[in-house]
Amino acid sequence: MQWRRLNGDKIKLPIKDAVEQTIIRETNAGYKLKVCIGTDSQVYSDCTHFATVIVFLREKRGGFMFIHTEKSSKKMSLRERLITEVGKSVQVAYSLCDLFDKYDVAMEVHADINTDPHFQSNVALKEAMGYIRGMGFVFKAKPDAFASSSCADKIV
């Protein structure tokens, strides 16, 4: 997986090493961190674009993010696409959760799913919530899921 920063600079290290170095650097600078992981997607004719973000929030001092994008030519229903988004976020969260435990960094997984049943994305709410919570992660959905619905949304 190739990750980059918002300015386009590629992250040359494996993502786990880059995240660990970031946590060490930010904590040494005196920041209390929280990490939010989310994915969003957009369908363009015969291709679905996915963007996954790792958002580092400095308590009361802003934040920054790491970005991974990919494309899929597989046709998916809305429910399948939303669960695929959640799966990508959970995969990243699972690969990094031992670092967050080691350095005592709070972490949330954000799903671009609306809690209001009047919206189409609500079809996957229960599955997504069960999947994320079942993995032991903190779950956030719209309107609180800014990592997926704002940060990743701007990338995809």
Query: Tell me: the pLDDT tens digits for 16-39?
Result: 999 999 999 999 999 999 999 999
Sequence letter at residue 22: T
CATH classification of the domain holding 101: 3.30.420
Q: Model confidence over 129-149: pLDDT tens digits?
A: 999 999 999 999 999 999 999
User: What local confidence, expressed as pLDDT, does residue 73 receive?
Assistant: 94
Q: Please, are residues 100 and 133 in contact by the beta-carbon 8 Å criterion?
A: no
pLDDT confidence band for 45 (50 / 70 / 90): confident
Q: How many domains does the chain have?
A: 1
Exposure string for 39-51, b = 16+ CB within 10 A, e = fewer: bbbeeeeeebebb
User: What local confidence, expressed as pLDDT, does residue 41 receive?
Assistant: 96
pTM for the model stands at 0.94
Give the residues across from 18 on adjacent strands. none
Distances (CA, A) of 65 to 9, 81, 125, 150: 12, 23, 25, 12
User: What local confidence, expressed as pLDDT, does residue 46 receive?
Assistant: 87
Using a pLDDT cut of 90, give the percent of the chain over it: 90
Angle at 39 between CA 21 and CA 29, to 5 degrees: 25
Residue-number span of the structural domain to which 85 is assigned: 4-155
User: What local confidence, expressed as pLDDT, does residue 101 receive?
Assistant: 97
